[in-house]
Chain A
């Protein structure tokens, strides 16, 4: 809802305007008292997304001046405690764009809630209190945002009014945070006073950028369709649709890419191929459809396809019963290795066990508790057909369910087939912000600068030299190692190195059989690094 000038209203022009509007989903993260609820209240209030009766109710409940946080602090329990306890969704629109906010709380339960909000977000706003600067929690927020693959990060330095709108304070925070997320956009605001939230502030003439809302209205969104590369198509089948008149189609939501009648697709797990005969919808047949549309496909021949199968084109997905996944543990019951869990991935649910755990906080661990981050080695009763989460969220994500309590206990970001887990060594404690930082350069800073975390793959020597050049030119922190042992591992993990190991190293992942030509081999190995999410 937004206010409009009292001009003659033309529904046609209004609807045309509305049709051109896209949708930005964003999430907000901040520590307790960073003013997050106040910021959201300010966005809703100043963009006129709250109604008069709601304003009256908040005025009644406010002590003194209008307490903007009350627009969003919904539930009785949290109002009694004075904190938000869960993810809440808010909606507002401007003349340019529609917005969905996933508002997540700032207290210690925030990891799981932030992960939930982040899973569907195009953008994250990380709030930092100007008086307190970058906190360990801020680092963790940046880390979770990166883990969940949020494309855009905004760092809003709030409460500028309490530091006399000091440019120096803002610059110091920007300098400290920048290495955590080199592409983040920084804005100094006062949510309480309204500076740079909806309107540019006159009290910070040193800031040249737009106000936060204008940035949200104009930040480019990843476009649908060809996002994952030409010819790349993923369609998890939700349901077969049959009618008495002999119609047989496959209903689902396109998870990646674009499809047209005549395209050849492969059905997994059968591996059989067919051409798309038509794209059926209630509104008629379509000439093309792209992610994330929900459509029904018919094929030119009968394949035995049912729910949970995947129609695919382009680079084949990984097919594996055991694979590595990054995890956010979301339940008070800790992980029990070897316990049978259920895993839901796209439209299929399979049995799964976790055989090895590595905490993102540190060493190998055999348990993961509420709000912990880790890397799991997972085995499933049936193969999954998936893409690394870094390549495609919809076919790279999964949830773990406890079959006894039915609780959703973990969010999984699939990394790759078995062995790739080796390439995902533990991040050190400094990375996740849980403990103090003993050395000046953190692993996350290294990863942010080089575009990769510590990893090692096995490769023949001549191809490794070619690949070293390619990776160096891309800005990677790369080195060729002739052998792999504990000392090499420590070096790789502490320096955030991407190691190409040419010696005897069966324990390491490798790109498989390589072409004889070294350039071609290096190109294939590079593709492997991208595919597995190492790069």
Chain B
């Protein structure tokens, strides 16, 4: 008799999903955001096709504003695993676009959403695997594991396919694509436990260290990008902090923390009373902002 833990059950489900994608689509791609969820998804892909190679490339949408440490980690991981890495940037928009000049939502729209849609269209990808989880945000709670996007990349929450058992409908019309979320049923705590148990490499920014930060009330902002406006006399201060989730450096707040090991991060997490996206500036616009972004084609 084999009693499976919840993590083993989640792992088995995710591997099944990854294999279905490889089997049923002509040209799948795995969106790799370099974050902890992407790291887990990449490990699950290694498991799904072992001892063979992962039968699809990685795609990173580089806004140009990611933390430098993320980019270094990305290249190092792809080389280590020996997987093809595609990087796409909306170069045309990058020159005049930053969150302070055009606003957070416009910046995201051009450098993330538009860049993603362009990359998927140019690459001819019919399925894009993403590391989103349903526990991240309320509008994600209703997302399917196989989520159809129309020819313009948009999501219609009122017209989703019912999804029963582990029978995924992968049929699409020309021009449509499917976003697939193998980690749908994982929680943030599940992801961290799995990273710990499996010794999965993650970007060092997740671990607490002394880092130069602009301190604005409760918000800690990285001064990495030169366009970050500073107040008169404001200088970065060394703060012991870490990132709870990773994104673009101008829009990702750090949290004060001493958690410099995985056990400490997990300990911190289970004492935490704030959701992981709270420190992401992008979600601060309006209630329901994630759903609006998704309708427009954001992942």
Annotate A51-92 by CB proximity to B: 1 below 8 A, 0 otherwise.
Answer: 111100100010000000000101111000000011111110
Give chain B nearest CB distance to A457 CB in angstroms. Answer: 29
- The answer to whether B193 touches A86, judged by C-beta atoms less than 8 angstroms apart, is no
If A15-B196, A247-B51, A251-B19 touch, whether A1 touches B189 (CB-CB below 8 Å) is yes
A98 interfacial contact with B, CB 8 Å = yes
Decide: B6 and A98 in contact? CB cutoff 8 A: yes
- Complex contacts, B141 vs chain A, CB 8 Å: 72, 74, 88-90, 103
Contacts of A116 in B (CB 8 A): 162-164
In the complex, which residues of chain B have a beta carbon less than 8 angstroms from the beta carbon of A23?
A: 5-6, 9-10
Answer whether residue B166 sits at the interface, using C-beta atoms and an 8 A cutoff.
yes
B169 lies within 8 A of A344 (CB): yes
Number of interface residues of A (CB under 8 A): 86
CB contacts (< 8 Å) of B62 on chain A: these are none
**A120 touching B165 by the CB < 8 A rule?**
yes
Q: How far is the CB of A6 from chain B (nearest CB, A)?
A: 8
Instruction: Give the size range of B's interface with the partner.
Output: 35 or more
A253 nearest in chain B by CB position: B16
- Shortest C-beta distance, B125 to chain A (Å), equals 18
Interfacial chain B residues near A100, Cβ < 8 Å: 185
Closest to B168 in A: A344
Name A387-439 residues within 8 Å CB distance of B.
393-394, 397-399, 401, 403, 406-408, 411
B221 to chain A, nearest CB (A): 18
Q: Which residues of chain B are within 8 angstroms of A91 by Cβ–Cβ distance? A: 134-135, 185, 187
Q: Are B3 and A243 in contact (CB under 8 A)?
A: no
Question: B271 in the interface, Cβ–Cβ < 8 Å?
Answer: yes
B164 touches A22 (CB 8 A): no
The reply on B76 being an interface residue by CB < 8 A is no
Complex Cα spacing A74 to B274, Å: 18
Q: Of all chain B residues, which has the CB nearest A255?
A: B166
Contact A226 B1 (CB under 8 A): yes
How far does the alpha carbon of A90 sit from the alpha carbon of B16 in the complex, in Å? 21
Report B83-103 CB contacts with A as 1/0, cut-off 8 Å.
000000000000000000000
Least distance between A226 CB and chain B CB atoms (Å): 7
Asked whether A296 is an interface residue with its Cβ less than 8 Å from the other chain, the reply is yes
State whether B173 touches A406 (Cβ < 8 A).
yes
Question: How far in angstroms is the closest Cβ of chain B from A286?
Answer: 10
Report the stretch among A135-143, A194-202, A234-242, A359-367 that lies at the interface. Answer: A234-242
Contact among B5, B16, B161 with A22 in the assembled complex (CB-CB below 8 Å): B5
The CA of A1 and the CA of B240, in the complex, are separated in Å by 25
Roughly how many angstroms separate A406 CA and B177 CA in the complex, as a whole number? 12
B270 contacts partner chain A, Cβ-Cβ < 8 Å: yes
A85, B158: Cβ atoms closer than 8 Å:
yes
Q: Contact string, A216-257, partner B, CB cutoff 8 A, digits 1/0?
A: 000000011110000000000011011101010101110000
Contact call B171/A53, Cβ cutoff below 8 A = no
How far, in angstroms, from A289 to B15 measured CA to CA in the complex? Answer: 15
| Cβ proximity bits B1-26 to A, threshold 8 Å, 1 near / 0 not | 11111111111110110011011000
Given contacts A15-B196, A88-B142, contact A406 B171 (CB under 8 A): yes
Q: In the complex, which residues 259-279 of chain B have their Cβ closer than 8 Å to any Cβ of chain A?
A: 262-263, 266-267, 269-275, 278
- B172 touches A (CB below 8 Å): yes
What is the bound-complex CA distance between A100 and B13, given in angstroms? 14
B172 lies within 8 A of A406 (CB): yes
List residues 19-56 of chain A with CB under 8 A from any CB of chain B: 19-23, 51-54
Instruction: Check A18 for interface membership: any CB of B closer than 8 A.
Output: yes
- Total cross-chain contacts (CB, 8 A): 207
- Cβ of A293 within 8 Å of any chain B Cβ, yes or no, is yes
Give which listed residue, B3, B157, B187, B278, contacts A77 with CB less than 8 A: B157
Shortest CB-to-CB span from B223 to chain A, Å, is 25
**B121 on the interface (CB 8 Å rule)?**
no
B24 CB, min distance to chain A CBs, angstroms: 9
Contacts of B6 in A (CB 8 A): 18, 21-23, 98
Return chain A residues, CB-CB under 8 Å to B216. Answer: none
A53 touches B52 (CB 8 A): no
- B47 on interface, CB distance cutoff 8 Å: yes
A282 at the A/B interface (Cβ < 8 Å)? yes
Select B11's contact among A74, A90, A225, A294, beta carbons within 8 Å.
Answer: A294
Q: Do A253 and B162 touch (CB < 8 A)?
A: no
| CA gap between A91 and B135 in the complex, in Å | 7
Query: Of A3, A53, A224, A253, which is within 8 A of B15 by CB?
Result: A253
Contacts A77-B157, A282-B47, A293-B12 given; indicate if A51 touches B275 (C-beta within 8 A): yes
Q: How far is the CB of B145 from chain A (nearest CB, A)?
A: 10
List, in ascending order, chain B residues with CB within 8 A of A251's CB.
19, 48-49
Q: Which residues of B contact A289 (CB under 8 A)?
A: 2
Say whether B249 faces chain A, with CB atoms less than 8 Å apart. no
User: B245 on the interface (CB 8 Å rule)?
Assistant: no
Q: Determine if B291 and A397 form an interchain contact, defined as CB atoms under 8 angstroms apart.
A: no
Contact status A394-B166, CB under 8 Å = yes
The residue from B2, B50, B139 contacting A75, defined by CB atoms under 8 A apart: B139
Decide yes or no whether A288 CB sits under 8 A from chain B.
yes
CB neighbors of B among A287-340 (8 A)? 288-290, 292-294, 296, 307, 330
Can you list the 6 inter-chain pairs with the closest CB atoms, starting with the nearest?
A: A11-B263, A294-B15, A74-B138, A23-B6, A282-B47, A406-B171
Chain B interfacial positions (CB closer than 8 Å to A): 1-13, 15-16, 19-20, 22-23, 46-53, 134-135, 138-139, 141-142, 157-158, 160-167, 169, 171-173, 184-185, 187-189, 193, 196-197, 262-263, 266-267, 269-275, 278, 287-288, 291
| B-binding residues in A (CB < 8 A) | 1-4, 9, 11, 14-15, 18-23, 51-54, 57, 61, 72, 74-77, 85-91, 93, 98, 100, 103, 112-113, 115-116, 119-120, 223-226, 238-239, 241-243, 245, 247, 249, 251-253, 258, 280-283, 288-290, 292-294, 296, 307, 330, 342, 344-345, 347, 393-394, 397-399, 401, 403, 406-408, 411
Given contacts A23-B10, A253-B12, A411-B162, list 14 more A-B pairs with CB under 8 A. Answer: A22-B3, A51-B272, A51-B275, A52-B274, A72-B141, A74-B142, A77-B158, A86-B142, A89-B142, A90-B141, A224-B2, A251-B49, A294-B47, A296-B50
- Can you name 25 A-B residue pairings with CB atoms under 8 Å? A1-B189, A1-B270, A11-B196, A14-B270, A18-B5, A19-B5, A22-B6, A23-B9, A51-B272, A72-B138, A75-B291, A77-B157, A89-B184, A91-B134, A91-B135, A100-B185, A115-B162, A239-B22, A243-B52, A245-B51, A251-B49, A281-B47, A294-B13, A399-B169, A411-B162
